[in-house]
Structure 1
Amino acid sequence: MPLSGRKILVGISGGIAAYKIPDLVRRLRDYGATVRVVMTHGAKAFITPLTLQAVSGHAVHDDLLDPDAEAAMGHIELAKWADLIVIAPASASILARLAHGLADDLLSTLCLATPAPIAVAPAMNQQMWAAAAVQDNIATLSRRGVHIIAPASGAQACGDVGAGRMPEPLDLREQICQLLSPAEGVLQGKHVLITAGPTREAVDPVRYVSNHSSGKMGFALAAVAQQMGAEVTLIAGPCHLPTPPQVKRIDVESAEQMLKAVQDRVTAADFFIACAAVADYRPTAVADSKIKKSASSMTLELVRNPDILATVASSSKPPFTVGFAAETHAVADYAQDKLKRKRLAMIAANDVSDTSIGFNSDENAISLFWLDSQQQLQSKPLDKASKQQIARGILEQAARLHTSNDYSIATD
């Protein structure tokens, strides 16, 4: 199990996202970790210590000077015990106290007393997250070596929409795994170019043609590639996801803009992963002003967009090129045809008709296909897991084939 023998201290501060933490604790234990929990007084307004005690199997701590602790120095015991301290959710208040070195409760005190690495998963209203004071505190903590688990974007409990949501338990567990079992640097010194998200093809200044891609798979690939040692450039279509740490992001709208951004950078890439859901067609002409509703029907003429994946794969010196096949039926057949027809090094296929692993899902299941050095078709399934875990499987296989040179491009 990935976290077997690891000792993780989960600190919970006051925030509605605290309701997700029992699931996180359970998921960590499923991976073999021993988990102990510390709660602030604010956290207990959202979830009870008894719940956390039940899922962790240990008494929950919330008292700085616990008379039942050995030598009444519970914070020192816990600080020495942990291999990693994870604060989730991390409120604006606990971030400020950590940034300023305060020690006014058990959680903030043990963070000063521990030699273990500390990770924080901020969760708060989008306006609070954007506030200059919060961002200054985040910058201070990052500079001191605290690992910042970037919040996700989406609808919030207060009704706002934006960045500030705590990542889901499966995503948090994957990032914790990376902190405790860092990648062996298999992509060290490599440049990975990734496209992610949808494209939008304008109809008029108001309307556009697009698809349901959230960009989550591509962003997970970017985050994991960086963790594996790569220099990562992420070319993103319109999506509201935070940029993974130390990843260079270029935002585009249309397929033609994405193609240009790729062509400008692909010659420096060792790997190109085309994860974006590029619109196959765009309107032949874009109206200068909003098209008014004047008839019972309307005909929209479309023209094919450039094929970014095929353009890169057919260049004179292509990088190791990985495509995606998001299909609703005959997934393996379509994927194998696309692998050979577009002359790819590897293709990742998934069934988007399954809503549990389709667009906007936090999980995925993939089948990888490639031709070995003898032109024989090979495959590898990646069973349903978080998109972070799937991303790791894809990148590890790509790196393995690239290093061993045990792959080939289809011949005519």
Structure 2
Amino acid sequence: MSLAGKNVLLIIGGGIAAYKSLDLIRRLRERGAVVRPVMTKAAREFVTPLAVGALSASKVFGELFDREDEHDVGHIRLAREAELILVAPATANLMARAANGLVDDLATAILLAAKAPILMAPAMNPAMWAHPATRRNLAQLTTDGVRFIGPNAGEMAEAGEAGTGRMAEPTEIADAAEALLGQPQTLAGRHIVVTSGPTHEPIDPVRYIANRSSGRQGHAIAAALAALGARVTLVSGPVTIADPAGITVRRVETAREMLAAVEDALPADAAVFVAAVADWRAEETATRKLKKAAGTTPALALTENPDILATIGHRPDRPLLVVGFAAETDDLLANARRKLDRKGADAIVANDVSSEHGVMGGADNTVHIVTRDGVEAWPKLDKSEVARRLAAWVAERLQGGDTA
């Protein structure tokens, strides 16, 4: 039993899918897990603590201000003793509170205090799952290192409703929990540098040149590498998303600052350059705001920024594995192949960022891994899944010594 003796804290959210949590408890215990359930107030409207307690053979926790449980700061104890925190169902409300660090009950207090891996199984109406607010919360939680299973497509509880929003089946969730707890630390002892986000190149005190990058893909890659045991240094341009947990972050503004931070972080076993670095900067930065004058347009002289990927790729003490990203709108693979040698990279992750693909700032990505051996095409994936696959790809190359 691969979950034998593993302490799984199960947070049951308040949705109709809560009835599946009863079968989930049974599936987890069949695999040997010790299940400690936490029920939100709304969850108790769908399933009873009596049923949950009977199936888990454990006390059911639910109150943040319980005199008996909180005499020793019980929510911290529950968070610390868990080897995995599983949220099923993860409702839109519960995801929103967790994404924003709001603590108003025992479940959210545990999530904020958690050091163990967190796996969420979302369940909600398809319109709620597709809503921009939920997508933002999903992206934020992914950046914070939370893993997700589902939701699946199918019929909803509401008559005539169908789409993506059904909670994953209990066996799927148990499989995901097993995979997460059994995930080998294939990058333990490795140091990896990741760049993420845009750079801002000042024109004057209020204006700058930049690229359209949210940093979501780079931050997700940093988190995925850390999950495999790597010591990660994340060099991030200006972003509005949270830093991944447990990672050294160096914040920069400009391309020159980013290059200096990367060089300062060396030596490293691998470097993954995801940042959308501005190719040019103003030749001269005005110390005062440039004022508009009717009928005239100020001349803006540009100069080339340092090429961070090429600079590191051609260093004699370069990392064993150098991976660059190529954001292209035309001739995707041809441009990526040219960059491979010109920049001294071992691989180029090429992605089409033309407007119809919605990659820049979006939740999904479609990439091709271009190496000297050929092209590996991946399907359209959530950026968190791209990150996990790329982290596994990096680990495989470093383990096998294959960096060409």
Asked if Structure 1 and Structure 2 have the same fold, meaning a TM-score greater than 0.5 normalized by the shorter chain, the answer is yes
Q: Measure the CA separation in 2 of the matches of 1:249 and 1:390.
A: 21
What corresponds to 2:148 in structure 1? 173
1:75-134 Cα deviation digits (max 9, x unpaired): 231467xxxx9x9xxxxxx7945999369xxxx9xx79x987324686557998378999
CA contact (8 A) 2:197 2:214 kept: yes
Alignment of 1:364-379 (within 5 A): 364-371=365-372, 377-379=373-375
What corresponds to 1:187 in structure 2? 187
What corresponds to 1:349 in structure 2? 350
1:217-238 Cα deviation digits (max 9, x unpaired): 1011111000001001100000
In structure 1, what residue type is equivalent to 2:244?
A: P
CA contact (8 A) 1:199 1:254 kept: yes
Displacement of 1:64 after TM fit?
A: 2.3
What corresponds to 1:286 in structure 2? 285
Q: Measure the CA separation in 2 of the matches of 1:33 and 1:385.
A: 28
Number of aligned residues:
335
What corresponds to 1:118 in structure 2? 85
Displacement of 1:201 after TM fit?
A: 0.5
CA contact (8 A) 1:129 1:163 kept: no
1:260-304 Cα deviation digits (max 9, x unpaired): 10111122x100110000000001111111111113323211110
Q: Measure the CA separation in 1 of the matches of 2:139 and 2:64.
A: 16
Structure 1 residues 140 and 130 mapped into 2: Cα distance closer, same or farther (>3 Å)? closer
Alignment of 1:14-163 (within 5 A): 40-42=40-42, 60-61=46-47, 63-65=48-50, 69=51, 74-78=52-56, 96=64, 101=69, 117-119=84-86, 123=95, 129=101, 137=109, 141-142=113-114, 145=116, 147=118
1:215 aligns with 2:215: yes
Alignment of 1:378-393 (within 5 A): 378-393=374-389
Structure 1 portions without partners, runs of 5+: 1-6, 50-59, 88-93, 150-154, 372-376
SS of the residue corresponding to residue 214 of structure 1 reads coil
Q: Measure the CA separation in 1 of the matches of 2:266 and 2:363.
A: 28
Displacement of 1:204 after TM fit?
A: 0.9
Q: Measure the CA separation in 2 of the matches of 1:126 and 1:116.
A: 19
What corresponds to 1:315 in structure 2? 315
In structure 1, what residue type is equivalent to 2:198?
A: P
Displacement of 1:362 after TM fit?
A: 1.4
Q: Measure the CA separation in 2 of the matches of 1:132 and 1:263.
A: 43
1:308-347 Cα deviation digits (max 9, x unpaired): 1101001012101000011112111111110111121111
Using the size of structure 2 for normalisation, the TM-score is 0.68
In structure 2, what residue type is equivalent to 1:223?
A: A
Structure 2 portions without partners, runs of 5+: 1-7, 30-36, 121-131, 151-172
SS of the residue corresponding to residue 383 of structure 1 reads coil
CA contact (8 A) 1:98 1:141 kept: no
1:34-68 Cα deviation digits (max 9, x unpaired): 9xx99644469xxxx7xxxxxxxxxx41x223xxx
Q: Measure the CA separation in 1 of the matches of 2:282 and 2:265.
A: 27
Using the size of structure 1 for normalisation, the TM-score is 0.67
CA contact (8 A) 1:362 1:386 kept: yes
Structure 1 residues 79 and 340 mapped into 2: Cα distance closer, same or farther (>3 Å)? farther
Q: Measure the CA separation in 1 of the matches of 2:231 and 2:330.
A: 35
CA contact (8 A) 1:171 1:388 kept: no
Q: Measure the CA separation in 2 of the matches of 1:101 and 1:254.
A: 50
1:329 aligns with 2:330: yes
In structure 2, what residue type is equivalent to 1:342?
A: K
CA contact (8 A) 2:98 2:112 kept: no
What corresponds to 2:269 in structure 1? 270
Displacement of 1:137 after TM fit?
A: 4.9
Q: Measure the CA separation in 2 of the matches of 1:99 and 1:283.
A: 62
Structure 1 residues 365 and 163 mapped into 2: Cα distance closer, same or farther (>3 Å)? closer
